[in-house]
Amino acid sequence: MRWLKRLLVVLIIFIVAFGAYAYFQVADYYPSTDDAYVHAHVVNVAPRVTGHIVAIYVHDNQTVTAGQPLLKIDPLPYQYALEQATAELAQTQRQTASIAADIAQARANLAADEVNFRNAQRNAQRAAALAAQKYLSAQQADNAQTTAQAARAHAAADAAALAQAEAQQTLNGARIEAAQAAVRTARLNLSWTMISAPMNGVVSKVDKIHVGDVATANTALFPLIGNQVYWVDANYKETDLSRMRVGQPAKVLVDMYPNHAFQGVVESFSGGAGNAFSLLPPENATGNWVKVTQRVPVRVLIKDPSRDYPLRIGTSATITVDTGGAPGWIRALHRIL
């Protein structure tokens, strides 16, 4: 009987040793952690214009689709601003016809002045020649020269008037562009009085705002949580990362649904351990140092979110990554466990 007891002790030791070996082998090929939390894209809904809230179209925890109206800000001030900008644009455009007429008149005057100047210049030249031959008096020749000079001065004045009108036309073109930009800005501000959902998701904390409240531009009103893409930030021990690679499949068990496994894939690894990004990173170069295994965030994308099992951000999960290459008996043991 003594040999039987010894055999039993040896058998128990063997089973314990094999169990420990098998456990570490499974943990090596299938690293797992329950220090993991569900995340999704979150948009803080904020108005782009300031005004009183006149309508709220959603309520707390309501599912919305992209483009669905969420709330409305009083549009009247922005409607009036658009009307004013439109009127100013029309006034500026009306000035274009007047300036064009002034330019045409200035060009016609300049053309007539140039004809008069050339004629007066020829008369002055003839008068000077006749005065030199004593057929005209010197006074008459001087008068003809003065008339030519006056015609030249008048042509120069009309040329300056034409240049001024053309400069006014250029300036008016810039004013038209500014007025058109003002109209576009006013129209854009008016469109922003209706706030719509930027993506599919669930709105939260809507009940804290009410009709009549003043919404301030670029100040968040409530969050919109996307429900199309979910991922898990799993904080793995640094010693578990040696076999893990981007693209490896993973099993995601959310504590809310312990009997439903989501399929995931390793998407990325953080560039540092979690404590490296804390407000006060540990200073290991001073005092007594104790080595502590650090945890590195690993992002696991959930490939098959389900309406039957809606996920909630911040909830806990357990992640198990299949690193591949496991022997058959380890794969079988993992399926059993």
User: How far, CA to CA in Å, does 162 sit from each of 104, 111, 127, 150, 310?
Assistant: 9, 11, 32, 18, 74
Average pLDDT over residues 240-256: 93
The CATH-assigned architecture of domain 30-41+225-337 is Beta Barrel (2.40)
- How long, in residues, is the chain? 337
Count Cβ atoms within 10 A of the Cβ of residue 11 and give its class: 0-12 exposed, 13-18 middle, 19 or more buried. exposed
Write out pLDDT tens, residues 87-133: 988 887 777 666 666 666 666 665 665 666 566 566 556 656 655 66
Write out pLDDT tens, residues 172-185: 667 778 888 899 99
CATH class of the domain whose range is 47-74+193-219: mainly beta
For 87, list phi and psi in degrees, rounded to 5.
Answer: -65, -40
Cβ pair 53, 211 in contact under 8 A: yes
- Choose the CATH number for 77-191 among 3.40.640.10, 3.30.830.10, 1.20.58.410, 1.10.287.620: 1.10.287.620
Residue with tokens 């919109």, as numbered in its chain: 224
The span from the CA of 134 to the CA of 128, in Å, is 10
Cβ pair 298, 233 in contact under 8 A: yes
In what helix (H) or strand (E) does residue 320 lie, and over which residues does it extend? strand 316-321
Indicate the domain borders of the chain.
Answer: 30-41+225-337, 47-74+193-219, 77-191
Answer yes or no: is pLDDT of 270 > 70: yes
How does DSSP classify residue 216?
A: P
pTM: 0.72
- Name the residue among 179, 191, 188, 194 with its Cα closest to residue 84: 179
